[in-house]
Structure 1
Amino acid sequence: MRKFRIPNMSALLAFEAAARHESFTHAARELFLTESAVSRQIASLESNLGVRLFVRSKQRVVLTRAGKLYGTQVRRILEYLDRDTLSIIAHGSGGGSLELAVLPTFASQWLIPRMKDFYARIPDVRVNMGVRTDTFSFEESHFDAAIHYGQPTWPGTSSDYLFGEEVVPVCSPALIPTPLEDVRELLAYPLLHSTTRPDAWSRWFAELGVDDNRAMQGVRYELHTMLLSAAAAELGIALVPKFFVEGRLEQFGVVIPFEATAVAESAYYLVYPTELSHGKPLEQFRAWLLEQASAYDGSPTT
C-alpha cells in the first residue's frame, strides 16, 4: 500500500507547463486556466511534496534545482502516458501504433514513399515518426524502435541489417558543366561535408586509390538536404546517398561530375531494445521493412 499521496493530474499538468515556460502566465494561457488557478495548483503540489519547486521573485518565477529535476521527470512520464493512451485507443480498433525514430533523409526519400504499401497490407497499425540522428536511450524516450546508420553497436539493442549506402558526388552543372575524366580533378573544387559522416569524402577517394588531405577540407552541413541545396547553389560538390538523387538529378538542379560510386562501410539498421517483449505492431513493421530492404538491396542501385 502506498504511504504517500500521488499528486493529481491537474497539478502535474500545471507544473509541467509552468516549468517548461518558467512562467505561470504562459502556463495558464496554454492550459486555458487563470494564472491564480495555476498558482494554486503548484502551491498545492509543493505542499504535498514538501519541496519548493519555484522561487518567486516579483513578477517572475524560477525553477529550483529540485523543480528542474522534477520537471524533467514529470514531462517524461506525461509523454509516456500520452503515448500509452494513444496505443490503447489504437488497440481498441484491433490495431496498434509504433513510435519510430528515423533519419530525416532516409525517412523522406526511402521509407515514407514505401509506407503506402505498408498501410495497404496492415491498415490498423499506425507508424509515428520522429527525427533522431544520434544514438539515444530507449528507456528515456518514447520510441519503440529506430532506423540507425552506422555499425550495429547500439548498447542494449537488437538490430536487423537493412542495406548499405551507396554514395555519389553531385554538384551544380554551372560549377562543372561536363563530366571529369580524372577523380583527382574533384579536389580542385570545394568539397561539402556531412557533420554526421565527416570522413565520407576521404573514404570515397581512398576506394578510388586517392590519398589526399584536401579530401577532409571544406564546409560541413548537418543534413543531406542542406548538402544538396549547397551543391545546387554552386557552393561545391556534395557526397550524398544515391537513393536520394536517383532519377531526380534534374529536379534537384545537380549533375554527377564523376561517374563512380562506392558503398560505405556503415549501413542502415532497424534497432530496438533487446530486453523488451515486442508487440505486434513492431513485429509486423519489422517483417515488412526487412522485405522492402531485401528487395531494394537486391537491385543494382544499392
Structure 2
Amino acid sequence: MRKFKIPNMGALLAFEAAARHQSFTYAARELFLTESAISRQIATLEASLGVRLFVRAKQRVVLTRAGRLYSTQVRRALENLDRDTLSIIAHGSGGSYLELAVLPTFASQWLIPRLKDFYARCPEVRVNMGARTGIFSFEESHFEAAIHYGKPTWPGAAADYLFGEEVVPVCAPALLRKAVRKPHELLAYPLLHSTTRPDGWSRWFGALGVEDHGTMQGDRYELHTMLISAAAAGLGIALVPKFFVDGREAQLGVVVPYAVPAAAREAMRDDAAYYLVYPTELSHSKPLEAFREWLLGQAREYAEAQQ
C-alpha cells in the first residue's frame, strides 16, 4: 500500500495562510489561532521538510524560493480539495456531474440559457462551470471538458465542432455622426479590440475588400462582455459574436452600425470556431457522453437557424 508523505493538515493550513498574507499575525487572525501557534506549525513543517520556508526579517516574514514554490502547490491542492468536497456535499450520492471549462460570455449568453433543457433531459447529470479563456492542461486542472474558440488543436484532447462565429460591429447610438453605408466608413471611429482575437478587425475589413489602415490600433479587452460595455459607453466600435447581441441591442445599449451582406458573410468564415474538447481517455465518461450528445444537438439547431 502506498504511504503518502503528507504533512499535518493544520500545518499546511497555517503555512498557506501565512504565505498568502506574508504575515504570521494575519494568518493567526484568519485561522482563530495565536501567532505563536502559527509559528510552531510553520517550524514543525520546516523541520519535517528539511527546508526553510520563510526568512524572518524584522517585523515581517518573507517566503524563500522553496517557500514560494511550495505555497503555490499547497494552495492549489487545498483549493482542489475544497472544490471536490463542496461538489460531494452538493450532489451527495445521487447522480453525477461534469466539470466544464467555458468561455465566460459564451456561458452567460449562449450555454446557460439552454441548460434547463439539458437538465430536463438528463436530470441525473449536473454541470459545474469554471471560466477559462485559453488552452490549458487537463492533467493539471480539475476540468473534464472545455468549450473552446479557435482551431481544433488541443494537445491530448478530442475536439467536436459546434459552430462557427459570425461577428457584427456594435457601438453606442450617440457615437455615430451619420448613417454608415460602406464598411470603410467605420475607420473614422475608434476601434475596440478583443485580446483573444487580435486580428479580428483586420480579417473583417479584409473580407469586405477594405484596406486595414490602422485597424490593429485601439483599446483591448479580454472578455466580450467588457467589449460590449465599452462600446455601449461610447468608447468606440467593437466587433463581437452575433449571438451575444442578437435581439438584445436595446437592452445592451448598442446598435449595429453596418450589416454585412449575406454574400460577404460566407467569405469571413474560417476554421476558427467553437469546439467541445475533452481528454480522449474520458470520451466514454457517462456525464460527458450525455452532455456531448445534447450540446451537439443544440449546436446543430442553432447553426441551422442562422442560415
TM-score (norm 2): 0.89
Q: What is residue 97 of structure 2 aligned with on the other side? A: 97
- 1:288 to 2:294 alignment: yes
Local SS of the residue matching 2:238:
strand
Aligned partners of 1:97 and 1:281 also within 8 Å = yes
Cα offsets for 1:201-234 (capped at 9, x unmatched): 1111111122232333322222212221222222
Q: What is residue 267 of structure 1 aligned with on the other side? A: 273
Distance 2:46 2:75 in 1: 17
Aligned partners of 1:157 and 1:272 also within 8 Å = yes
Q: What is residue 193 of structure 1 aligned with on the other side? A: 193
Q: What is residue 27 of structure 2 aligned with on the other side? A: 27
Q: Over aligned residue pairs, what C-alpha RMSD do you find?
A: 2.3
Q: Which amino acid aligns with 1:260?
A: V
Distance 1:69 1:216, change over 3 A: closer
Q: What is residue 251 of structure 2 aligned with on the other side? A: 251
Aligned partners of 2:166 and 2:242 also within 8 Å = yes
TM-score (norm 1): 0.90
Q: Which amino acid aligns with 1:282?
A: L
Q: Could you tell which deviates more after superposition, 163-172 or 285-294?
A: 285-294
Distance 1:280 1:18, change over 3 A: farther
Local SS of the residue matching 2:214:
helix
Aligned partners of 1:93 and 1:124 also within 8 Å = no
Q: What is residue 68 of structure 1 aligned with on the other side? A: 68
Q: What is residue 116 of structure 2 aligned with on the other side? A: 116
Q: Could you tell which deviates more after superposition, 2-11 or 20-29?
A: 2-11
Q: How many residues align?
A: 301
Query: Identity over the aligned pairs, expressed in percent?
Result: 76
Aligned partners of 2:144 and 2:282 also within 8 Å = no
Alignment of 1:142-153 (within 5 A): 142-153=142-153
Q: What is residue 174 of structure 1 aligned with on the other side? A: 174
Aligned partners of 2:118 and 2:294 also within 8 Å = yes
Q: Which amino acid aligns with 1:152?
A: P
Distance 2:32 2:294 in 1: 43
Cα offsets for 1:109-163 (capped at 9, x unmatched): 1111112222233334332222211111222222222111100112121111111
Distance 2:244 2:91 in 1: 35
Structure 1, unmatched stretches of 5+, are: none
Q: Which amino acid aligns with 1:296?
A: Y
Distance 2:296 2:234 in 1: 38
Local SS of the residue matching 2:108:
helix
Aligned partners of 2:151 and 2:273 also within 8 Å = yes
